[in-house]
Structure 1
């Protein structure tokens, strides 16, 4: 009898385990908001973190390298925190990079975003060495022409190729006026909210004062959990 009870208990435990299934990995869940920003993680997360970033901001690149792994593994993966990225546009190069991170399906965004942030120190060098003729091309002509000039000078075509994008697909995104308008509206909305520098952060819609690095942000996330 004792043996039978033990067998039934083991069977019941196994059934519960199968029913529960493996823990969800929220790092693969990406949603697109009505304003065009991307959200990574559990939509029902207790803490909804918003990052306001610029691709030509060195502090944003530093935050990405310093905090991304910890944030994703310790907070996003178990579903405790979701992360929304909103764009601030500091210059024409910033806009071009943002249009490329937003190029393609929503599921490609965070890998594109990480690539631009983590390699910023390499690709940004032409900002310091470009000729006056190059700089003129970055701000002259229609949207597509300006963005193509920037993409060529900063080697964005080669970067996007490593992500599986051909030149035709890249050029199509670079000429997307509707996307450029969405990104500009997103940046203006952030400015209207009170964002004055990057990176800046909000938790559950409340902008955080004096917060631009992980060591200051982390305790505020922990407090909100």
Structure 2
């Protein structure tokens, strides 16, 4: 197993640290501006909306919207970060409705995994492919408190035993402790398929490697972190703050 993967599956060392470490708004960054004025809207393909146009990106994320949109938004988030859950609840509907569907803005979500439970959820969220990713993303954030509470109720010993399982079993065990396999089944992911996705060590390692790559590229120290046209935003981890930045960029 790669060194970065070893660090991620070993941390946090105790259940009490899940949902705490590395979760919070960035303190510095840039403000967006639109030197060319407002951006023109562009219609989606006939019979569709831009929010329905979703693809996997080479960087390991999922992007919705006009691939040629001049305003490109990236969110780095964690399924065990309460701030990320709040931000998703606030932002997902108006972002898709008012900005992505205009054709002016594309939105890419990248998992910034911080702990084994986070990795397990990320593996399940991408289990049904690009079209299902964003609806599952919202639903898994909605289950955040439930999965953490369920995991903690199993006790520290069960959690540590899961972490010492063979790599192809590790995230299955963590998901079982958090009630995630049953949650996924209720959302159209068959149990056998869910277990296959959770056993995908290659994807888990790619998620971990992406954290290291993007941390260095964008100087990410907390989640959620938002990147607008390759600039890390300041004070944008609320819908009000992000919407101001989008309007400032011409959306």
Structure 1 stretches of at least 4 aligned residues deviating more than 6 Å after TM superposition: none
From 234, 237, 242, give the equivalent of 1:212: 237
- Counterpart in 2 of 1:87? 111
Which structure has the bigger radius of gyration?
1
- Counterpart in 2 of 1:76? 100
Higher relative contact order, chain-length normalized (CA < 8 Å, sep 6+): 2
CA contact (8 A) 1:24 1:78 kept: no
**Secondary structure at 2:241 match in 1:** helix
Question: What RMSD over aligned residues (CA atoms) do the two structures have, in Å?
Answer: 1.8
Per-residue deviation, residues 115-134 of structure 1 (Å, max 9, x unmatched): 10122122221344331221
**Secondary structure at 1:125 match in 2:** helix
From 184, 187, 206, give the equivalent of 2:211: 187
| Residue segments in structure 1 that go unaligned for 5+ positions in a row | 1-19
Equivalenced residue count is 206
- Counterpart in 1 of 2:64? 40
* CA displacement at 1:47 relative to structure 2: 1.0
The separation in 2 between residues aligned to 1:54 and 1:21, in whole angstroms, is 32
Change (3 A) 1:113 1:21: closer
CA contact (8 A) 2:236 2:245 kept: no
**Secondary structure at 1:77 match in 2:** helix
Higher helix share: 1
- Counterpart in 2 of 1:3? none
Q: State the TM-score, normalized to the length of structure 1.
A: 0.86
The separation in 2 between residues aligned to 1:113 and 1:31, in whole angstroms, is 14
* CA displacement at 1:150 relative to structure 2: 1.3
* CA displacement at 1:211 relative to structure 2: 2.8
- Counterpart in 1 of 2:134? 110
**Aligned ranges 1:74-223 → 2 under 5 Å:** 74-192=98-216, 193-223=218-248
Q: State the TM-score, normalized to the length of structure 2.
A: 0.77
CA contact (8 A) 2:76 2:226 kept: yes
CA contact (8 A) 1:39 1:82 kept: yes
The separation in 2 between residues aligned to 1:144 and 1:170, in whole angstroms, is 13
**Secondary structure at 2:102 match in 1:** coil
The separation in 2 between residues aligned to 1:155 and 1:63, in whole angstroms, is 23
CA contact (8 A) 1:92 1:138 kept: no
* CA displacement at 1:53 relative to structure 2: 0.1
The separation in 2 between residues aligned to 1:163 and 1:187, in whole angstroms, is 27
